[in-house]
Amino acid sequence: MMLFVDIDRDWAAPLLAQRLSGLGRPLHATAHSLERALGELGERCRQVEVLSPFITSPVGPDELEQLPALRLICTRSTGFDHIDLAAVHARGICVCNVPVYGDNTVAEHTFALILSLSRRLRRTYDRVGHDELRVSDLEGFDLRGKTLGIIGTGHIGLRVAQIARGFSMRVVAYDPYEQPLLADVVGFSYLGFDSVLGEADIVTLHCPYRQETHHLLDTSAFAAMKRGALLINTARGGLVDTSALVDALHSGRIGGAGLDVLEHESMILDEDHARAGLMDMESMRATVLNHHLLSRDNVVFTPHVGFNSREANERIFLTTAESIGAFYAGTPINRVFPPERPIGRDPVGAAGQGER
């Protein structure tokens, strides 16, 4: 049996059934988490050969014990840190992920945030219907001719650069691993980190969150930015020191922020967590700071939905179906465990640490 848990789109189960019908194996798809699905399946768990969870269903020794026939786990995410690899290794189970599904999706969302700020959409929307609507208060600025500073030119950063060139923007970028050929083709230049901050009218973050990138944008980084520049963050909240960002907005050091991610967002966005009183002092402080941040009309916020387009979600399911088909054909693809190739400069280790 192939067991799909955490299925929250109506169209997903029919799509999977159609794509996997040729395998001649029963398919069970449920909106419930793995834990709940195992309880519901009872003895039928013993027939599960393939499991496909999302990051919301941890897979560890307890779950694996109930799945004695399991051969393949296909997580519908890039990250796989919700899967206990030691437990999986002991059982010889293969793990596949979805390595790429939405670089253009997140890049387009980045521009949704940029344009919301450049055309003052929040303020404009709030003022519509008010008696004293003054168009002069709502004046925005053109992107054409402005400089975009990209921090991290991986999959998403490169798409952002391409879109920016389409807007006739000048693009500068910082990445410790430069790709000069791609920079030439797309039409941007690499500079040092501080130079990117100093030259950009808009700085956008597209690098991974790690110990060494924690608070990459802190007080001194904001001081290095052009006065009145904008900050966009669709990568991870921990890249930005929220307190320094609030100060920089308050002092006018920066002119606005477009955020799809926040520090401590899992605690803040998860109401159950908050209601259960599970916030520590640090998260409470972050909640208060984020409240200050989000109440400003030069800040636009979306709740970590940069990846969430119909096309990106479809790609996730189609890639998962392909991985299962390839596994049964004896030619696995998208395998992250056991690793297909030596771990390179970034991908597998980074993705395993919690990328969506």
- Which residue, 101 or 328, has its beta carbon nearer to ligand NAI? 101
Q: Token pair 């519509």 is at which residue?
A: 128
Shortest CB 322 distance to ligand NAI, Å: 19
Q: Which residues bind ligand NAI (CB under 6 A)?
A: 103, 106, 151-157, 174-177, 206-209, 213, 234-236, 260-261, 304, 306-307, 346, 350, 355-356
Question: Which position among 155, 236, 253, 264 bears the catalytic label?
Answer: 236
Provide the 3-class DSSP secondary structure of residue 334. Answer: coil
Shortest CB 107 distance to ligand NAI, Å: 9
How far is the C-alpha of 91 from the C-alpha of 323, rounded, in Å?
20
Burial, 352: exposed, middle or buried (Cβ in 10 Å; 0-12, 13-18, 19+)? buried
Question: Within 13 Å of residue 348, how many CA atoms lie on the same side as its CB?
Answer: 14
Task: Collect all residues with Cβ–Cβ distance below 8 Å to 137 and sequence separation of at least 6.
Answer: 123, 127
Shortest CB 287 distance to ligand NAI, Å: 20
Shortest CB 354 distance to ligand NAI, Å: 8
Known catalytic residue at 265: yes
Shortest CB 269 distance to ligand NAI, Å: 13
Shortest CB 206 distance to ligand NAI, Å: 5
Nearest-CA neighbor of 164 among 179, 185, 140, 146?
Answer: 146
- Which residue, 62 or 340, has its beta carbon nearer to ligand NAI? 340
Known catalytic residue at 304: yes
- Which residue, 202 or 261, has its beta carbon nearer to ligand NAI? 261
Question: Which position among 155, 170, 206, 304 bears the catalytic label?
Answer: 304
Shortest CB 348 distance to ligand NAI, Å: 10
What is the 3 state secondary structure string of 266-312?
HHHHCHHHHHCCCCCHHHHHHHHHHHHHHCCCCEEECCCCCCCCHHH
How far is the C-alpha of 193 from the C-alpha of 203, rounded, in Å?
11
Q: How do 2-4 and 27-29 pair as beta strands? A: parallel
Question: Which position among 63, 199, 263, 265 bears the catalytic label?
Answer: 265
Dihedral in degrees, nearest 10, Cα atoms 295, 301, 303, 309: 150
How far is the C-alpha of 16 from the C-alpha of 7, rounded, in Å?
11
Task: Collect all residues with Cβ–Cβ distance below 8 Å to 294 and sequence separation of at least 6.
Answer: 301
Task: Collect all residues with Cβ–Cβ distance below 8 Å to 291 and sequence separation of at least 6.
Answer: none
How far is the C-alpha of 116 from the C-alpha of 299, rounded, in Å?
9
- Which residue, 104 or 323, has its beta carbon nearer to ligand NAI? 104
Nearest residue to ligand NAI on Cβ basis: 154
**What are the catalytic residues?**
236, 265, 304
